[in-house]
Structure 1
Amino acid sequence: MGKDFFGNDIDLEVGYARGSILKNSFTEKAKQQHAVKKINTRIAELGEDSLYIFTGNIRWNQLKSSDLGITSEEWVGPSLFYPQLKEKALDHLGGDSDKSEVAVFNRTSAGIVSSIMALVKPGNILVSFAPDKKAHPSVSRGAKLAGAKLYEVDTIEELKNVPESSSAVCVVTGVTSELLLLDQELFVEAIKMAKLMNMIVIVDDAYGARIRTILLNQPTALEAGADIVITNNDKAALHGPRAGIMAGNKELVMKASAKASEYGMEARAPIALGVLRSLEQFKPEELIGEMNVGQSLYEGLSKKMGEEYVRKTLLGPEISADNALRYILKRRGMNSKDCAVVPSEFTTAIGFILLEKYGIITTNTCGMPGARVSLRLKTNEDTVSRFGGTAKVVEAVLDSIETVGSYLEDPRKISDLILGHAEGVITK
């Protein structure tokens, strides 16, 4: 078990240290429900325009009024729109229409888990190849559900040293949820090597299907030799509804889709139709616009905090949970021993100040259990403009960090922020 910057044990399933407030998935779900109540209250008091989404996920449902009849009916609808959905998905993800199949899942994580459960047998090997070994938690959770032996690697040499297996699967992540990247050469070589080792290759291209191809001019995952690729329908200029879009080898996609149906993880007809409408409206220039806004936010925040604490990504600034806590401890002249929370709880509390005081929504408050805990600001020009500009966003972030910093020796206040109550808090 690894440790974070402050010596806390990292939960390998989610990639960060748990504390006395966010102890497990149950408390993380309670956190999310508390955020929902806060959003509801803000809308009731200040209206919908008082909210600003900075998660990078714009999750509108793209259905037209004309879609609400037989086209979105569960039994008949797919027969009417599936051919167009397949065409648009393959245009987006690459792949030959005669050799490829397309499936839609209720979220990308569901597609990844379903693929692993369908293609890996108990005791077999699952390899995760991701930048800094930071694959999405769905990979490790899928391995656990399938009873697979998980090997996490981030170099070709480590991949070569994975034991041989007759039914090994390799999940390659080209771009992580924190926008860590594999360069093109490493991405292509990882897929090539895994195939030479007789592995089935699944590419988690949640962000990468657009970031890699549009912003970095890389090949699609299927062009690079992957068997299956899956992307989000609500990230990087696709605007919802939330869903995972999979394409690739017909037999393998069908196996993953069948497994998803067994466990209720497939997307039903209205969601699949919404995906088609989203793909029809996709505009690459919107992604370029998000990149430009992210650059502006990074420059503003790093200038105030220092480049050592803020990481530049292609879509905006990212402050790791460790760096956020390091920054405020230095600002306040405090020792880490005086801090009553772990880094993930600190950034979550920052998210709640941003939400309550400014209406800024981040994954720190609304993310599903296991979501990344770094403070990430990803949005578009319209949202920043409505808020009042880049300088105002930076001011809100700094104020929220300082506010939570004043609570560091009082875990009950932080617990109140995160969960809405102070019961069950165990101080360090």
Structure 2
Amino acid sequence: MSITLNEVKRREKGLKIIKDKIETDGIDSLIDLTGLAGGFDITPEDISLLETYAGPAVYEQKVQELGIKHLGGEKILPVNRTTSGIVAMIIALVKPGTKIVHFLAKKPAHPSIPRTAKLVGAEYEEYTNLDEFKIDDNTSLVFITGTTMDLEVISVEDFKRVIKQAKEKDVIVAVDDASGARIRRAVYNQPTAIDLGADISVTSTDKLMEGPRGGLMAGSTEIIDKIKLVVNQYGLEAQAPLIVGMIKGLEKYSPERIQEAFKQKDELYQKLLDKQLNPQTTPTGFMFKEEEIKAEVEKRGAKVDMDADVIATVYSMLLIDNYNIITIPAVGMPGASKTVRFDWAAKDSDKLTMDELVSAVCDTFDKTVEVCKNNDFESVLYN
């Protein structure tokens, strides 16, 4: 998905609505169901160490211990975003003229992978069918996405088949396990990517855990050191405040909340079906893809000439404005998926009942219909 200036401006509008809500009703009035709430649960003692050299000196060993426990591997590398880790990894390991091949449950991949492939002058191919998957002799890196942006998970068997093919060709395997390091393991009881045979794994420290938006990479000491050199050269390293936030998130992480949401999602899904809605389930909730949002609005009587991603953003914006419920399309980074996803594992789900959430979902469809009928997109998205 290409990034447009309009996406940037829509995100600014979404953040403005949130700012106004905080100023009027306080931050506790917000209900963040993105699964990306993150956090900086730090103490006054931590704050006193947030200096350029003191912080890294104190926190380096702790993040190594907790990171290895969470991801496996020999060494951990904290970076300022998962995307930063992917960019550094490709720069460090992929030569111009070679190829990156990528297996995932469903397209598209995270855009940072094809973009960086282009940046270094490498070819790039994606596969969702293992019968078609192939590794050429000039392949320098194999990527696996453990869990897609819409939380679709690949099986352990597919993991192992891709890794086996890569090892036969002596090609390094990297796993984009942004949310998969939690979803795959907590819900499906899968091993870590490293334990499955991958050489590198990277995860997001704010996805389904209470850490800041950052990235944590694991692998062998040799490979991590190569990537770390690039990270330092390009200023992609996590600074002390981010690292201490990661440590707190790792310390607090427990799979039980994710597992409980997995158990409850069927009850929530049935309540939506009873309202004649037809969302897709996720491991920890439900979602409406952008085309499904548009189709539901049209079913309710609106004639829609706008693209589906715009309608999904309108829906997400109205959820914040009317119900204080935050979903990704209104506030996510430009280029991110416009799927409207409700994560019942998010800690803010405690702020409302299932029936209250279902009522908000239904009412927001009606409000989106009115916006479409009145052609009122500008005021919702930008003004």
TM range (shorter): over 0.9
Distance 2:288 2:183 in 1: 20
1:251 aligned partner, one-letter code? E
- Aligned equivalent of 1:383, options 348, 354, 368: 348
Instruction: State the partner residue of 2:291.
Output: 322
Gaps of 5+ in 1: 1-13, 19-23, 421-428
- Aligned equivalent of 2:22, options 43, 52, 60: 43
Q: CA deviation at 1:410?
A: 5.1
Q: Per-residue displacement from partner, 1:195-247 (whole Å, max 9, x unpaired)?
A: 222221110111111211221111110011101001111112x1111111100
Q: CA deviation at 1:382?
A: 5.4
Seq. identity, % = 33
C-alpha contact (below 8 Å) 2:34/2:346 kept by paired residues: no
Distance 2:84 2:271 in 1: 36
Q: Per-residue displacement from partner, 1:372-416 (whole Å, max 9, x unpaired)?
A: 1111001447533423x11111111111122112232555x1132
C-alpha contact (below 8 Å) 1:74/1:270 kept by paired residues: no
State yes or no: 1:408 paired with 2:372: yes
Instruction: State the partner residue of 1:312.
Output: 281
Q: CA deviation at 1:26?
A: 2.4
1:104 aligned partner, one-letter code? P
Alignment of 1:244-255 (within 5 A): 244-255=215-226
C-alpha contact (below 8 Å) 2:34/2:328 kept by paired residues: yes
Gaps of 5+ in 2: none
2:171 aligned partner, one-letter code? M
> Considering only aligned residues, what root-mean-square deviation do their CA atoms show, in Å?
1.8
Distance 1:296 1:63 in 2: 36
Distance 1:257 1:302 in 2: 49
Instruction: State the partner residue of 1:231.
Output: 203
C-alpha contact (below 8 Å) 1:295/1:314 kept by paired residues: no
Instruction: State the partner residue of 2:356.
Output: 392
Q: Per-residue displacement from partner, 1:17-51 (whole Å, max 9, x unpaired)?
A: x7xxxxx3322122111111111111112222221
Instruction: State the partner residue of 2:257.
Output: 286
Distance 1:210 1:380 in 2: 11
Q: CA deviation at 1:189?
A: 1.2
1:364 aligned partner, one-letter code? P
Instruction: State the partner residue of 1:124.
Output: 98
Distance 1:300 1:371 in 2: 28
C-alpha contact (below 8 Å) 1:120/1:169 kept by paired residues: yes
Instruction: State the partner residue of 2:56.
Output: 78
Distance 1:112 1:220 in 2: 18
- Aligned equivalent of 1:179, options 151, 176, 179: 151
Distance 2:274 2:117 in 1: 41
Matched residue pairs, number? 383
Distance 2:335 2:309 in 1: 11
Alignment of 1:352-391 (within 5 A): 352-380=317-345, 383-387=348-352, 389-391=353-355
Distance 2:191 2:252 in 1: 22
C-alpha contact (below 8 Å) 2:87/2:112 kept by paired residues: yes
Deviates more, 1:356-365 or 1:323-332: 323-332
C-alpha contact (below 8 Å) 2:39/2:249 kept by paired residues: no
State yes or no: 1:67 paired with 2:54: no
Provide closer, same or farther for how the CA distance between residues 110 and 68 of structure 1 changes in structure 2, counting only shifts above 3 A: same
State yes or no: 1:89 paired with 2:67: yes
Q: Per-residue displacement from partner, 1:153-176 (whole Å, max 9, x unpaired)?
A: 12233222x4321x5111100111
1:417 aligned partner, one-letter code? V
C-alpha contact (below 8 Å) 1:293/1:380 kept by paired residues: no
SS, match of residue 150 in structure 2: coil
Distance 2:158 2:276 in 1: 32
C-alpha contact (below 8 Å) 2:297/2:368 kept by paired residues: no
Distance 1:74 1:117 in 2: 26
